[in-house]
Chain A
Amino acid sequence: MKQTNAHMERQIMNKRKRVFSVQEKKNPKAVFAKRYVSHLVPALKKINMNKPSSQINSKSFEQTVQHEVDMALALSAQEFAWSRFLQHKLLSSPHEDPSYSSKILETSSCKQDGKEGAEIKKKLKELQKLVPGGEEMNMEEILSEVGSYIVCLELQMIVLKSLVQDNIS
């Protein structure tokens, strides 16, 4: 959705009033972190409880935990396209389907013709593979999604690190 400049200005004004305030609800990263934690921790608890301790099959357990981790990520950042893709992928099948048809990257015109254009295309293709759902985005979309994806990954890491550290200590 596009917002008008006036609306953005109002937003800015509202934010000005909230200097130094620690309001979780308005802070997007805090919102994300909270959501993430609230998704992941009960899932971990459930895993822990449902699994009888004698059957610690580490590989599948790891996979389950990883699945839950990713799922928590996807659920906590519903606003972005990549999170929807990720969710879809996690829900549908545990196995990746490598036969994506990478979309418009090929048809999009080169920014820089010549060798550089080819290089950039290659890198964009790689990026496509990294970002969930990237196979179906064209170049501009990927660039916008990558930013939010990176930030959410970082937040995820913070939460996970804190979880791990506090379990160790």
Chain B
Amino acid sequence: MLEGLVSPENLSLSSMDMNVLERLKWLQQQQQQQVVSQSSDNSPELLQILQFHESNNDELLQSTFSHFQMLGSCFGPSPNMGFGPSHEAMDGCISRTSSFQMVPVDTMGVMLKNSEENRTISSKNKRKSEVKRREEEKTEKKIKVEAETESNMKGKSSMSNNTEASSDTSKETSKGASEIQKLDYIHVRSRRGQATDRHSLAERARREKISKKMKYLQDIVPGCKKVTGQAGMLDEIINYVQSLQTQVEFLSMKLAVLDSELELAVEDLYVKQDQTVIIQKLLIIFFLFCYEFQLQAYFTNLPVVNASKPSIMVDVPLFPLDQQGSLDLSVINLSQTTSTEAPSASWETQSRSLFNTSSLGFHY
């Protein structure tokens, strides 16, 4: 009877081209068939599934067959990331799995009939950690034998396209077997007692991203560290950007005035070779001032400006860069370090003092 699941229709659905509607239909079919036959003998088949899944890790992902994986619930702020804990906990939780059936069909996929079905989509990139995620459909609740599953996974847009229509996540924080889907998500660890709603997890991950970016901005904008709270920081950032812009305007006006009055002999200032001289002087000055740990801080904060590579990461990267050796010009860090020599609070005066002390003479 289970072999009936292995219909060419199902196999044909394994391609990624299948759209959402087809998947939904397929899922509903599964459910209907589920109602018909259920058995409670699960553990050996479960083990089979696990082994199977482990072996076909990423190649399988093109299929949209459902998988059922057991995960021990990882409550608490455990720093473990990756699949390590999941495998250990898997065996321990097998007994708690709700009933399901497995059909070892072929190497392409495994068809499961169980109370909770998931779909697998190819996981592409980052996994911070594993998160339990439960995805239930309203119809499945009737079928479900044991209610002790808890998992949540933050989903990206692909996920929401697939499953939003078809699933409701219910909030249960009890321990138990949980499911994992191989989807290209950013994984967020859910803690005990916290809502494991898909939406709240998505919210939380988003908030974490945003707070990281705010931290990065905090280091760039001077005077931001004293202010707490995002509103205050945003205020500071806005003020800073405004002041920078007005300064640029002012300087350009000044330049225009000079240009017109003195009939700026620009060519005297800048022969091609002199440009490099200027830059080198700038570099030397910055190098002298800011080689310290500020470099490290700069580089952890501003790899966005890493223009040396043709591929520029526009996002603030989320991984830490430990040791950065190359010289980086960091104006803010510069102003902070010059404070040891010229103790003045505002960055404006600091950068001005820098220029007064520096001898950037142009050759006429």
Contacts and interface: CB of A to CB of B under 8 A. Distances in A.
Contact of B260 (A32, A61, A69, A162): A61
Contact of B326 (A23, A64, A165): A23
Interface string B242-277: 101101110111111111101110110110000110
Contact of B313 (A1, A48, A151, A158): A1
Given A150-B244, A167-B258, A24 B331 contact: no
A118 B9 CA distance: 51
B308 interface: yes
A164 B258 contact: yes
A75 interface: no
A24 B280 contact: yes
Given A37-B270, A66-B252, A160-B255, A15 B213 contact: no
A27 B328 contact: yes
A121 to B, nearest CB: 10
A164 B251 contact: yes
B203 to A, nearest CB: 6
A12 B323 contact: yes
Contacts of B227: none
A148 B304 contact: yes
Contact of B316 (A81, A144, A160): A144
Contacts of A87: none
Nearest to B234: A123
Contacts of A27: 283, 308, 326-329
A147 interface: yes
B195 interface: no
B244 A153 contact: yes
Contacts of B256: 58, 61-62, 64-66
Interface in A50-79: 53, 56, 58, 61-62, 64-66, 69, 79
Contacts, number: 256
Contacts of A119: 231
A149 B331 CA distance: 13
A146 interface: yes
B359 to A, nearest CB: 11
Contact of B324 (A15, A20, A58, A145): A15
A93 to B, nearest CB: 19
Contacts of B244: 150, 153-154, 157
Interface residues of B, number: 90
Interface string B314-350: 1111010111111111111000000000000000000
B27 interface: no
Interface stretch (B50-58, B63-71, B215-223): B215-223
A11 B322 CA distance: 11
B331 A161 contact: no
A116 interface: yes
A140 B210 contact: yes
B238 interface: yes
Contact of A158 (B299, B326, B351): B351
A133 to B, nearest CB: 12
A44 B268 CA distance: 13
Nearest to B260: A56
Given A41-B270, A147-B302, A153 B248 contact: yes
Given A12-B323, A19-B325, A41-B270, A144 B264 contact: no
Interface in B183-218: 203, 206-207, 209-210, 213-214, 216-217
B78 interface: no
B331 A151 contact: yes
Contact of B312 (A18, A23, A79, A147): A79
B328 A44 contact: no
Contacts of A107: none
Interface string A26-44: 1111111110011001001
6 smallest beta-carbon distances between A and B, as pairs: A19-B325, A29-B329, A79-B312, A65-B256, A143-B213, A160-B251
6 contacts: A27-B327, A58-B256, A148-B304, A150-B217, A155-B331, A168-B258
Given A41-B270, A144-B314, A167-B264, 18 more contacts: A12-B323, A22-B283, A22-B284, A29-B330, A30-B279, A33-B282, A41-B275, A58-B257, A61-B259, A65-B252, A69-B248, A111-B230, A127-B237, A130-B238, A148-B305, A163-B255, A167-B255, A168-B258
